[in-house]
Amino acid sequence: MAFVTRPVLLVAVLWVASGCAHLPGRAPEAARATAGRTERRELEVEGRRRSYLVHWPASRLGAAPLPLILMLHWHGGTARRMMRRSGLNAVADREGWMAVYPEGTSWGGTPWRSWNAGSCCGYAVQRRVDDVRFLDALISDLERTQAIDPARVFFAGASNGGMMAYRAGCELTDRIAAIGVVAGAMAAPSCAPSRALPVFILHGTADRFILYEGGRSPRGGGRVDLSVAKTARFWAAHNGCAPSVHTQREGLMTLSRFEGCRDDSEVSVMTIEGGAHAWPRGQARFSVETLWTFFARHRRKDS
């Protein structure tokens, strides 16, 4: 499942809970911050050498503890392409957060890397790669070797990476504070989170790979996806949220937020009317700023 990069129309201004998105066309302060450093590292899991990129923020080099965002690439992507596409490093530099970009697996070193999110995708599913174990081991390694705040570990991902973020939310709930999913679907064989978990969902209504309304994926080999609405309701029910939903619309975008949830959790759904299966190209700062604003409100309650 390739993750295409067609531009997505976005409104000029959208307020998101306690903060607002940056206007397109002008670099935010994050983009002008002094850059930190990025390094490729490896970790052996299940006899495989797994790699990832880690970005230390310039504003907090040597300081402790750092919130951590793990950003997962799409099927066919790489850690480096996800780093460049997302624009996360600029926000991490400004806010003093650590950004890590794990890398999936592929056939014979080809660039079509994927994650085993359950029913998707590619090599990782066919070879039954235990990516949950890899991500769990990666968090442990980062906590052991870096100054990481264990109460503020977050997963975000796009497409197949978003599916993997959902699976992490289902199976690694005790290790993470919240998840954010762009154009993904829940593909795990089962989901029984061990506690309330804040969830942010961004999805376009014209997505032709992972349908907004759910159903059989046009390119998923017979895979059937939950709709965005059913996915949001699953997490809202699990989090014990109030039945009412606060909805805010601005232009082509609608933010729906389940509130009154257990343990100060929440479920937020941002819908892009006419949006395709794409990371909002040219507006990546918007998406990452929105994700960061969501994550910054939360920490793991049992820490």
pLDDT band per the 50, 70, 90 thresholds, residue 13? very low
- Residues in CB range of 89: below 8 A, 6 or more apart: 35, 36, 38, 55, 83, 99
CATH of the domain at 220: 3.40.50.1820
Residues 238 and 240: their CA atoms lie apart, in Å, by: 5
In a domain, 5, yes or no: no
Across 212-225, average pLDDT: 86
In a domain, 10, yes or no: no
In a domain, 170, yes or no: yes
Residue 16: pLDDT over 70: no
Structure tokens at 59: 């504003």
pLDDT band per the 50, 70, 90 thresholds, residue 301? confident
Cβ neighbours of 263 (radius 10 Å):
14
Q: Does 45 or 109 have the greater pLDDT score?
A: 45
Candidates 176, 97, 23; CA nearest to 88 is 97
In a domain, 154, yes or no: yes
Tell me which residue range forms the domain holding 188.
15-296
Positive/negative CA dihedral, 288, 152, 178, 143: positive
Task: Determine if the peptide bond prior to 65 is cis (ω within 30°).
Answer: yes
In a domain, 210, yes or no: yes
Number of structural domains the chain divides into? 1
High-pLDDT (> 70) share of the chain, % = 84
High-pLDDT (> 90) share of the chain, % = 73
pTM: 0.88
pLDDT at 59: 76
Structure tokens at 16: 């998101």
Mean pLDDT over each residue of the chain, to the nearest integer: 86
Residue 160: pLDDT over 90: yes
pLDDT at 90: 93
Cβ neighbours of 266 (radius 10 Å):
24
* Cα distances (angstroms) measured from residue 226 to each of 56, 135, 161, 184: 36, 24, 16, 10
The per-residue pLDDT for range 234-288, each reduced to its tens digit, is 999 999 999 999 999 988 889 999 999 999 999 999 999 999 998 866 444 456 8
pLDDT band per the 50, 70, 90 thresholds, residue 73? very high
In a domain, 8, yes or no: no
DSSP track, 136-163? HHHHHHHHHHS-EEEEEEEEEEETHHHH
In a domain, 6, yes or no: no
In a domain, 159, yes or no: yes
What single-letter amino acid sits at 94? R
